[in-house]
Structure 1
Amino acid sequence: MVCPSLCTQRTFLDAQKAVIEDFAMNKNKKEREFYSLDVGDSTFTVLKRYQNLRPIGSGAQGIVCSAYDQNLERNVAIKKLSRPFQNQTHAKRAYRELVLMKCVNHKNIIGLLNVFTPQKSLEEFQDVYLVMELMDANLCQVIQMELDHERLSYLLYQTLCGIKHLHAAGIIHRDLKPSNIVVKSDCTLKILDFGLARTAATGLLMTPYVVTRYYRAPEVILGMGYQANVDIWSVGCILAEMVRHKILFPGRDYIDQWNKVIEQLGTPTQDFLMKLNQSVRTYVENRPRYAGYSFEKLFPDVLFPADSDHNKLKGTVRCVA
């Protein structure tokens, strides 16, 4: 009997070769030389062309290091996928991220420069490394800064351009959050991390276990069917956080998340409630009714920069809201 894990690895390896065969194996012997380096609790085994590795971040999908690419003569980011073959779910996410990064080409989407594995055979195949453009910071850090109207609007514009490109290609990101949006010092912005992205196929069953809790749309929280508009809700939550310098809906769990939404935005209409399944609708209808806060209370004038036309910025926030 063939090990299920081996089958998953074989599928991923075959797909990897088909999608990025120009990356996976280089005919130059020198290009296949590797060296190992401990980075935190993980060991990176990378091509010798990548030097000066330094950890810059980590998450559920893996650990990221900065490095200098001697071939391209530029700094890059190297992401080691965390145990991509431990189960089918992880393998699908790894494959999905690889395919989308290879196929999507847009100035506001992070670019894939290389991908490799140090293992030489299918039986040994365990590690996948993605080499990407290196940016200066993620939006979590930028949110803490005092941004004027021009910079905030430009960051929002680029985010929407990237999302529009994904949606035009039939792709829903499904995990938009500040840590998945990166920027450079010149204010250019790129979206990354496509491990949870899906195609927006009609009738496709979408799982509710997506999007970091604070940025989940009501359709996701309540287990409804959803489409690409869930990404726009996430963008709105991120913009609100940039203006307020704090999370808009900081729920402790998915029930508390829903309560935070209706307390601030108000109880939804009866038309919306009728779209819910019976058990969820009963719960929502039995919650206290809230009128919601006015826009002026959610976003008072004091939040907007004094050195810019705050009416313009308020108009930007209103449009996304």
Structure 2
Amino acid sequence: MIKREMETQRITEFPHKNMDKRPRKRQRLTWGVPPPLLAPPKQVIPGMFCGYGFYNGNGSPPWRPDDKDGHYVFAIGENLTPRYRILSKMGEGTFGQVLECFDNEKKEEVAIKIVRSIHKYREAAMIEIDVLQRLARHDFGSTRCVQIRNWFDYRNHICIVFEKLGPSLYDFLRKNSYRSFPIDLVRELGRQLLESVAFMHDLRLIHTDLKPENILLVSSEYIKVPDYKFLSRSTKDGSYLKNLPKSSAIKLIDFGSTTFEHQDHNYVVSTRHYRAPEVILGLGWNYPCDIWSVGCIIVELCSGEALFQTHENLEHLAMMERVLGPLPQHMAIRVDRHAEKYFRRGVRLDWPEGATSRESMRAVMKLPRLPNIIMQHVDHSAGDLIDLLQGLLRYDPAERLKAREALRHPFFSRDLRRYGYPV
């Protein structure tokens, strides 16, 4: 256990070196991003207000049009309905933006997702609300998924009120210069993640977009500990210290893409780095696509970097083969017509012949095998972790471990007598 007397600081003090080196298709909702220094109440933030003057602070603000993309236009310090006062903007994504607000009735800070005033996003938001309410009815103790507090329709924007949580695991890694988590913390985060996924699967729900951005620490507090990998280097910038969460408690967020088991599963799901092979190959998908994502996430927590850093399907499949071995022939011969071009004579991946550039070939060649990746970063429990990951990252979804099977793996129990991490 890490001693309590170690220095505790707010997450806003993280170093900002080597920020955001991982490629991203688009900005995602980053609920865990700490708010900037708050502007004084009633101060208009440029780009958030259309020149209607200052807000008087009483009741709802004067009506103003949305921006060109259908986002709600607001000013810091004004109310979002008389109940919620806007404190800061926490993030923005495809579906809308997330604001930190103060609930005047409950006297607490909350996160409010304000959906764009466009029909398809409003419909998606109503589906997300249905999923959130279903999860809340069964999540006794509120320990697995972010809790919906309230929702309302405000000036043609669906607004979903959530409990306010800490930073996402991705934000924590990014602001910690992509330094990996210690194996005992990875074990605890992985266990909770699998418990949350098992909980959803028991309810016949598939998240379909699991990634570090959608896993939030409950608390923003962290501690500083020595980073022994950097002790031999210059210490002028404090790089010999790294940050660890004070508590390992996490919750899942972003259920806008969650689907029920019985619905159509033929479209593309998951953010690229965490997308299962059956999705890329057009073979249909189900619960196992979440398990593949969990495997990718656990590797990333161990190494600090995404396992498959690519935005192109053939390169992605080649990276999989480099790390995990060849794709099964029975999957290759069943691919849909859109994925046939990735194979030669229907069975062998068209690589490196089909590579788009030498840089792409080098990106694949530099990847180690999965056991080597783990052994580079894990000081103990490496054997158990490799065995677990080989079960989570099996190509054939029918052979992939189920969430509850994974929770029974020795990786989660063998070393508990020696190690632990505060929840």
Where on the TM-score scale, by shorter chain, does this alignment land: which range? 0.7 to 0.9
**Corresponding position: 1:129 with 2:159:** yes
**Corresponding position: 1:162 with 2:188:** no
1:34-53 equivalences under 5 Å are 34-35=60-61, 42-44=72-74, 46-53=80-87
Q: Distance in 2 between matches of 1:222 and 1:256?
A: 13
Question: Is the partner of 1:238 in helix, strand or coil?
Answer: helix
Q: Structure 1: 5+ residue runs without aligned partners?
A: 1-32, 120-125
Percent identity between matched residues is 24
Residue from 299, 302, 305 that aligns with 1:240: 299
1:146-200 Cα shifts (integer Å, max 9, x gaps): 4223322111111111111111111111111111111123221111111111111
Equivalent pair of 1:62/1:82 in contact (CA under 8 Å) = yes
Equivalent pair of 2:310/2:316 in contact (CA under 8 Å) = yes
Give the residue type in structure 1 aligned to 2:170: C
Q: Distance in 1 between matches of 2:330 and 2:292?
A: 19
**Residue 286 of structure 1: CA displacement?**
4.6
Greater shift, 36-45 or 205-214, is seen at 36-45
Aligned to 1:303: 377
Aligned to 1:260: 319
Give the residue type in structure 1 aligned to 2:279: V
Equivalent pair of 2:72/2:116 in contact (CA under 8 Å) = no
Equivalent pair of 2:314/2:342 in contact (CA under 8 Å) = no
Aligned to 2:4: none
Aligned to 2:183: 149
Q: Distance in 2 between matches of 1:256 and 1:165?
A: 33
Q: Distance in 2 between matches of 1:118 and 1:277?
A: 43
Q: Distance in 2 between matches of 1:225 and 1:237?
A: 20
Question: Is the partner of 1:43 in helix, strand or coil?
Answer: coil
Q: Structure 2 length normalisation: TM-score?
A: 0.59
**Residue 84 of structure 1: CA displacement?**
3.9
Give the residue type in structure 2 aligned to 1:227: N
Cα RMSD after superposing both structures: 3.0
**Residue 276 of structure 1: CA displacement?**
2.4
Equivalent pair of 1:149/1:312 in contact (CA under 8 Å) = no
Q: Distance in 2 between matches of 1:206 and 1:212?
A: 16
Question: Is the partner of 1:195 in helix, strand or coil?
Answer: coil
Q: Distance in 2 between matches of 1:84 and 1:176?
A: 25
1:41-98 Cα shifts (integer Å, max 9, x gaps): 742461222225211112112211112222222221111012341xx4x343222111
Q: Distance in 2 between matches of 1:279 and 1:63?
A: 34
**Residue 282 of structure 1: CA displacement?**
6.3
Residue from 84, 98, 107 that aligns with 1:64: 98
**Residue 145 of structure 1: CA displacement?**
4.5
Q: Which has the higher contact order (CA 8 A, sep 6+)?
A: 2
Distance 1:196 1:253, change over 3 A: same
Aligned to 2:248: 187
Q: How many matched pairs? A: 276
Residue from 139, 144, 150 that aligns with 1:108: 144
1:267-320 Cα shifts (integer Å, max 9, x gaps): 212222233246735642353579995433232x3312x5x6555655654554
Question: Is the partner of 1:35 in helix, strand or coil?
Answer: coil
Distance 1:100 1:146, change over 3 A: same
Question: Is the partner of 2:187 in helix, strand or coil?
Answer: helix
Superposed structure 1 runs of 4+ greater than 4 Å apart? 36-42, 288-293, 308-319
**Residue 258 of structure 1: CA displacement?**
2.2
**Residue 224 of structure 1: CA displacement?**
1.0
Distance 1:127 1:264, change over 3 A: same
Q: Structure 1 length normalisation: TM-score?
A: 0.76
Give the residue type in structure 2 aligned to 1:96: I
**Residue 118 of structure 1: CA displacement?**
2.6
Give the residue type in structure 2 aligned to 1:78: I
Distance 1:274 1:136, change over 3 A: same
Q: Distance in 1 between matches of 2:338 and 2:102?
A: 55
Greater shift, 269-278 or 211-220, is seen at 269-278
Aligned to 1:95: 126
